Structure 1
Amino acid sequence: MSRFLFLQGPMSTFFDDLISQIHEEGHSATKIIFNPGDKTHPASEFYQDYTGTFEEWPKYFEKLVNSRGITDIALYGDCRPYHERAIKVAKFLNLRIWVFEEGYLRPEFVTIEKDGVNANGSFRFYQHGKMAEIEGEVPRRSVPSRMVSLHRNRQAISYYWRVFWKDCHYMNYISHRKYIPNEEFFIWLLAYGRRAAYKLTQSSKRKKFEEWTENKHFYFVPLQVHNDSQIKTHSDYESVWKFIEEVLYSFAANAPSESALVFKHHPMDVGYEQYQSRINDLAYGLGIKERVLYGHGFDLTRALKNTAGVVLVNSTVGISALLHGRKVKCMGKANYDLGGLCFKGGLVDFWKSNFEPSKRLVREFVTQLRLETQIQGNYYCYDSAFIERCAEFLTGNPDKRLNKMKKEQRDSSNTKA
């Protein structure tokens, strides 16, 4: 029997539902509560409050693990301060470490990876054809994106509302975010207002975007969230803006004179950062203002289908771009930044390069990634089958999972036939 200890999860009921499923399968699980937002149910026998200081956390964690005979820990995001310290202790104690994150393959999957995610993860791509036996297309979205967004936003607001009103018992809690939880609540409300306004104010930009994707030789730059741990931990950039600056300078000096540059603001960063004025000023100074477009809500699929290339830090959009056969320049660390997949020269040479990713390697990479780290579904709008698949991933064996995926692939092929 495995004994799980869950730390912070997504801002949803997902971890609580997963814990219930794990108990049903004969294992035990406890969830640490760091702040009121983590309590997605009014009361639960599986909750364990932590009200100590951040400095006391490693010793408390080690004592709890030893006293309860914990065999596995599970957490969402491996770069949060509490999680980083817990992972160090867990590795010393030889525990199994399961890290959850949004899917590498989007929008249809979530990630569960051992030891960490992205550059910290255990995933290693091997190129010897083993994955050919379970090849197949990435499934299309089964839940409409609007429905997922509504559930995510509703549960995020609920999370911050609980923190806002019931915060006194957890005064020692230190958030991994730049803003305190009460401020985060109002930032999410601000984001709602801005999205509504952008539907009116961004119409001309969206029209220009559609024209450029049809008629222009353009490069696409998907921006990441300003406080994305992948920026801070797995790149040399101090901020997203520093990345934008480097791209603009390089584009102005080295890209074909007839080409254009399109920046897409991250949809989850709407309430936090805005780059329009800074991009305008720098593009004007570089003499490329008419060749640069920045905006919100641009159609990602349309951009990837028509772009000449993608420049990013380490966003999972890079994998989507590879699936579209586009050349990708990754400026940070990412598990897909490999020879044969991404352009490995400098940014100065990227703009005029004729590099194309290997279709075979992309197919094998995505298939292996899907098998070893991906579960179809999402954390915010799911059914019992999704919870069961996640529980099986944590408690089952790899061969059983491989056989199930083969069966799903055969069933899918038979349905198409």
Structure 2
Amino acid sequence: MTKKKNIPIFKKKISIEGSVIFLMGPIGTFFSRVASFLEKNDIKTFKISFPLYEYGFKKSSRLTYSEDIYQFKEFLEKIIIKENIKHIFMYGNVLIPHKQALKLCEELNRKGHFINSHIFELGYLRPNFVTLEDKGVNYDSGFLFDRNFYEKQKPYGNFPVPINHGLRIRKIWKLITFFNHSFKNYKIVEFAHKLQPKPIYLWFQLKGFILKFFYRIVEKNLKKKCFSKSPFFMVILQVATDSQILKGSNFKDNYEFIYYVIKEFSNAELKNTNLIFKHHPRDRGYTNYSKFILEISKEFNIEDKTFYIHDFPLSKIFRNRFCKGTVLINSTVGYQSLFHSIPIKSLGITPYNLEGLSHQNDLVSFFRNPAKVNKLLFNKFYRYILENSQINGNFDGYFPFESVFTFLNNR
């Protein structure tokens, strides 16, 4: 008898009850693939076609909008009512049209015109998952419950093993779309964001690709020194313009976060323990904090204990016997740290920032005596998050459409 594979199961399936409209999707062709799947199941789809063009949609499904973005809500409401739209799909909830759409959904639902919002995002559980929530994601997630809620959930007997679906052959469309968007001067977000690229971002992307190999060589000995001799705490940096910082924390930027962490580490007065900052891989070509970290660590006389690195496998870090804890704002790294039972201190709004998972006292006390991870609580938390929001697939390769969507007429 063949042994049944212990694979992740997404249980919160989306029941499609009528016409669908797509707003901005992840850079690439993922939303057009979703539209094609729905159309094959006799669902009428529409695509709001902003000046930031998205490839793969039928011309007949496109509804062009290039007017003032702050007037988009009125335009969308007319379409929803005229076409009897039942579902709105979007990527993330920080873009101006997406914020307006979510607000409109709330207003229409209160009036009795029911419409479902569906928000895709990169996986909370990296690297083989895609996130799907209905009201918000990340700092606006629908999973911001207290410990008591998660205590009542069921744990896994054994953690499921996600399938790595390998080569993402459609990534070429990311490059094409990113290039196209870089030369479109049409505001869709309140602050600098990679979904609103500029021409200079093309250089930053190329620079980041080159630096990946450069840092692999020049940081080789530094990483050996960081991870092989002394206990250490990891500090995970967000993308510089990430809404997790701007909207989901009390920090105005990474500089303020870095300063605070170094100051508190100094106040902890630890002996023979290092502080290691890890740069965000998606921000490699855009920013560099080496001079600032050195300057602040010298200010607090801990320059011999403070390090700054790029690209290194997180699983190796968290399996390292010297790793004492992780400091972050709201990074998906928090889930990985907890999975390996490495204590965390979250300084932002995140589902895992609760007693039993994240250290609840000040940062100095975390450095001195980090609260242990409650393994059973994490098991329950992990299962609930996975089964209700995590889809084992990716935007540019395999995606299990049949396992995610059901249709009212097929019940």
Q: Aligning the two structures, in what range does the TM-score lie when normalised by the shorter sequence?
A: 0.7 to 0.9
Q: 2:83 aligns with which of 60, 65, 68?
A: 68
Q: 2:179 aligns with which of 148, 161, 179?
A: 161
Instruction: Determine whether 1:55 maps to 2:75.
Output: no
Q: Secondary structure at the match of 2:276?
A: strand
Question: What is the CA distance between 1:339 and its match in structure 2?
Answer: 0.9
Q: Is 207-216 or 65-74 further displaced after alignment?
A: 207-216
Q: 2:363 aligns with which of 339, 343, 347?
A: 347
Instruction: Determine whether 1:296 maps to 2:310.
Output: yes
Aligned residue number for residue 46 of structure 2: 30
CA contact (8 A) 1:235 1:332 kept: yes
Aligned residue number for residue 104 of structure 1: 124
Q: Distance in 1 between matches of 2:204 and 2:142?
A: 38
* 1:65 to 1:371, Cα distance in 2 relative to 1, 3 A: same
CA contact (8 A) 1:7 1:31 kept: yes
Instruction: Determine whether 1:92 maps to 2:107.
Output: yes
CA contact (8 A) 2:187 2:196 kept: no
**What value does the CA root-mean-square deviation take over the aligned residues?**
2.5
CA contact (8 A) 1:34 1:173 kept: no
Q: 1:7 aligns with which of 23, 45, 48?
A: 23
Question: What is the CA distance between 1:256 and its match in structure 2?
Answer: 1.2
Aligned residue number for residue 260 of structure 1: 274
CA contact (8 A) 1:104 1:316 kept: yes
* 1:367 to 1:5, Cα distance in 2 relative to 1, 3 A: same
1:137-170 deviation per Cα after TM superposition (whole angstroms, max 9, x unaligned): 24245134xx45x854x333211332356x4xxx
1:181-215 deviation per Cα after TM superposition (whole angstroms, max 9, x unaligned): 89634424433334324523553423322343232
* 1:247 to 1:339, Cα distance in 2 relative to 1, 3 A: same
Q: Secondary structure at the match of 1:8?
A: coil
CA contact (8 A) 1:74 1:98 kept: yes
Question: What is the CA distance between 1:62 and its match in structure 2?
Answer: 1.2
Aligned residue number for residue 131 of structure 1: 154
CA contact (8 A) 2:182 2:202 kept: no
Q: Distance in 2 between matches of 1:164 and 1:278?
A: 29
Bigger helix fraction: 1
Aligned residue number for residue 114 of structure 1: 134
**Higher RCO (C-alpha 8 Å, min separation 6):** 2
After the TM superposition, list the runs of 4 or more consecutive aligned residues in structure 1 that deviate by more than 6 angstroms.
Answer: 179-182
Structure 2: runs of 5 or more not aligned: 1-16, 110-114
Partner amino acid for 2:220?
R
Q: Distance in 2 between matches of 1:128 and 1:396?
A: 34
1:107-154 deviation per Cα after TM superposition (whole angstroms, max 9, x unaligned): 11110011111232223552355423x55424245134xx45x854x3
Question: What is the CA distance between 1:271 and its match in structure 2?
Answer: 2.2
Q: Distance in 1 between matches of 2:290 and 2:375?
A: 36
Instruction: Determine whether 1:218 maps to 2:232.
Output: yes
Instruction: Determine whether 1:329 maps to 2:349.
Output: no
Partner amino acid for 1:46?
S
Give the aligned length.
384
CA contact (8 A) 1:222 1:264 kept: yes
Q: 1:369 aligns with which of 381, 385, 388?
A: 385
CA contact (8 A) 1:213 1:302 kept: no
Aligned residue number for residue 164 of structure 2: 142
| TM-score relative to the length of structure 2 | 0.86
CA contact (8 A) 1:101 1:112 kept: yes
CA contact (8 A) 2:357 2:377 kept: yes
* 1:390 to 1:246, Cα distance in 2 relative to 1, 3 A: same
CA contact (8 A) 1:123 1:372 kept: no
Question: What is the CA distance between 1:71 and its match in structure 2?
Answer: 1.4
* 1:10 to 1:172, Cα distance in 2 relative to 1, 3 A: closer
CA contact (8 A) 2:21 2:45 kept: yes
* 1:183 to 1:363, Cα distance in 2 relative to 1, 3 A: closer
Question: What is the CA distance between 1:268 and its match in structure 2?
Answer: 0.7
| TM-score relative to the length of structure 1 | 0.85
